[in-house]
Amino acid sequence: ASDATPPVRRPADWDTDRLQALAEAFGTPLYVLDPERVRQNAVRLKRAFPDATVDYAVKANTTRRVLETVADAGLGAECASAGEVRRALDAGFPAERVRYTAVNPPATDLDSVVDWWREGHDLTVTVGARDTLDALAERGYDGRLCVRVNPGVGAGHHAKVTTGDAPQFGVPFDRATEVCGAAADVGAFVGLHAHVGSGVSGEELSAHEALVARMATLADEVRPAPEFVSVGGGFGVPYHREDPPLDLEAVAEATREAFDCDARLVVEPGRYVVADAGVLLTEVTSVKPTDGTTVVGVDAGMTTLLRPAMYDAYHEIRSLSADVDDRSPEPCLVAGPVCETSDVLGEKRVLPAPERGDLLSVGTAGAYGYEMASTYNSRPRPAVVTLDGDTVVRRETLADLTRLESDGGAAE
């Protein structure tokens, strides 16, 4: 396979027959993952940032298959919890390439991560508060430490994912020097970290550049001098068909230019690695004409893909029926089975007259899709399979839903 990555993958670019066959074999709703596309995106990032370290923000998609693919491609792992650290280590990321970014870390996360470090996993812990340094010191941790700084500049596709200027992330910029010094007293101070937000593209990239410049200046000031500076992730991907793809090479160039310091540059994208490597398949379960719009009921909803309900996010929806050309286009509201008004996957979508039993694809669903799925309304989470039909995550069953209750499993 070629390492030259083709443009972002739209629902229309997936092989319809293959998707139909997968839906037939595994049922719906179903996430389909293309590991080869994950690999290509990882390789492309490494090529765009040849002198930098590229770590994958694991939270975008933590399935074992994705993690193994990304680790194989030579990326490191940026982890948001002990659970993510465990998955990253188990999937084969070398511990030296694993960073745990502790955001208001629960005591149990710190306990686990320090245990694994003591077992010989030489990972890095990023602290966003002086208190976390103390909590690590109390546990006897004296390993690699990175300090997350609040850069005071944020950007993102939605206010809810604009992190750079939110006070809960990172130590205040004017306290950074002091906290880095404190980190050096506790363990080995090795790095600085900041993250602007998620889904950054277009003019907002100037916020990313401002962050990079601020961090480069800081890196030259703090003592001891940091080995690396992670300037976060956030690279946007196009979700609308008409959006231009992110010019990754231009972003890399601008980042390099703004990064005027001696430390090693680190970037940690999540979405960019996996977003276009996933598609969600869902079946039409009811079609209801109403004034002005056809309500298309589907078996995937906000419990399957939360992004539209949570961020008003757009995902392209396409009919995979064979005879779409013979049907007249209709304005549609595509809604899931959950009893909430927010359970809408797409509004004002023009689809070829949908019919019960049709298969729809929901595009660019590889990042923060399965990952944010829940069992609300007692809906078992969907399966994830590869394009080749390998099971990545099996479908949850009704028995799974009660397994964790004190008398769980009684039904089996």
Cβ neighbours of residue 304 closer than 8 Å, sequence gap 6 or more: 29, 280, 282, 336, 369, 373, 379, 381, 382
Stretch that binds ligand LLP, among 68-76, 228-236, 322-330, 383-391 (CB under 6 A): 228-236
State yes or no: residue 346 binds ligand LLP (CB under 6 A).
no
To ligand LLP, the closest distance from the beta carbon of 393 in angstroms equals 18
Of 29 and 269, nearer to ligand LLP (C-beta) is: 269
Of 305 and 360, nearer to ligand LLP (C-beta) is: 305
Of 9 and 22, nearer to ligand LLP (C-beta) is: 9
Of these, 311, 340, 342, 400, which contacts ligand LLP (CB under 6 A)?
311
Distances from the Cα of 366 to the Cαs of 7, 70, 212, 215, 388, in angstroms? 15, 14, 27, 30, 16
State yes or no: residue 337 binds ligand LLP (CB under 6 A).
no
d(CA 14, CA 245): 17
To ligand LLP, the closest distance from the beta carbon of 192 in angstroms equals 13
Of 153 and 320, nearer to ligand LLP (C-beta) is: 153
Residue with tokens 């995902």: 315
State yes or no: residue 60 binds ligand LLP (CB under 6 A).
yes
Of 346 and 352, nearer to ligand LLP (C-beta) is: 346
Continuous H helices in 139-237: 176-186, 205-221
Of 116 and 239, nearer to ligand LLP (C-beta) is: 239
State yes or no: residue 198 binds ligand LLP (CB under 6 A).
yes
Of these, 128, 234, 238, 363, which contacts ligand LLP (CB under 6 A)?
234
Of these, 26, 49, 228, 368, which contacts ligand LLP (CB under 6 A)?
368
Number of residues located near ligand LLP, criterion CB under 6 A: 21
Q: Are 193 and 147 in contact (CB under 8 A)?
A: yes
State yes or no: residue 233 binds ligand LLP (CB under 6 A).
yes
Stretch that binds ligand LLP, among 65-73, 232-240, 252-260, 334-342 (CB under 6 A): 232-240
Residue with tokens 């629960």: 106
To ligand LLP, the closest distance from the beta carbon of 69 in angstroms equals 16
Angular region, 153: left φ>0, alpha ψ -120 to 50, beta rest: beta
Residues 24-53 contacting ligand LLP, CB under 6 A: none
Of 70 and 161, nearer to ligand LLP (C-beta) is: 161
State yes or no: residue 235 binds ligand LLP (CB under 6 A).
yes
Q: Are 125 and 136 in contact (CB under 8 A)?
A: yes
Phi, psi angles (nearest 5°) of residue 103: -105, 115
Q: Which amino acid is at 412?
A: E
Residues 143-182 contacting ligand LLP, CB under 6 A: 161, 163
d(CA 403, CA 179): 44
Phi, psi angles (nearest 5°) of residue 326: -90, 0
State yes or no: residue 109 binds ligand LLP (CB under 6 A).
no
d(CA 33, CA 280): 9
State yes or no: residue 57 binds ligand LLP (CB under 6 A).
yes
Q: Is 339 designated active site?
A: yes
d(CA 263, CA 215): 10
Q: Are 276 and 40 in contact (CB under 8 A)?
A: no
Distances from the Cα of 174 to the Cαs of 82, 91, 180, 222, in angstroms? 29, 38, 11, 11
Site pattern 251..290 for ligand LLP (x: CB under 6 A): -----------------xxxxx------------------
Catalytic residue among 146, 261, 332, 339: 339
State yes or no: residue 99 binds ligand LLP (CB under 6 A).
no
**Residue 241 tokens, joined:** 């068909």
Of 150 and 198, nearer to ligand LLP (C-beta) is: 198
Q: Which residues on adjacent β-strands are paired with residue 148?
A: 193
Distances from the Cα of 354 to the Cαs of 32, 213, 238, 301, 351, in angstroms? 22, 51, 26, 17, 7
Closest alpha carbon to 100 in 112, 49, 1, 160: 112
Stretch that binds ligand LLP, among 115-123, 170-178, 233-241, 295-303 (CB under 6 A): 233-241
To ligand LLP, the closest distance from the beta carbon of 286 in angstroms equals 28
d(CA 238, CA 246): 7
Which residues are catalytically annotated? Answer: 339
Instruction: Provide the binding-site residues for ligand LLP, judged by CB under 6 A.
Output: 57, 60, 78, 101, 161, 163, 195, 198-199, 232-235, 268-272, 307, 311, 368
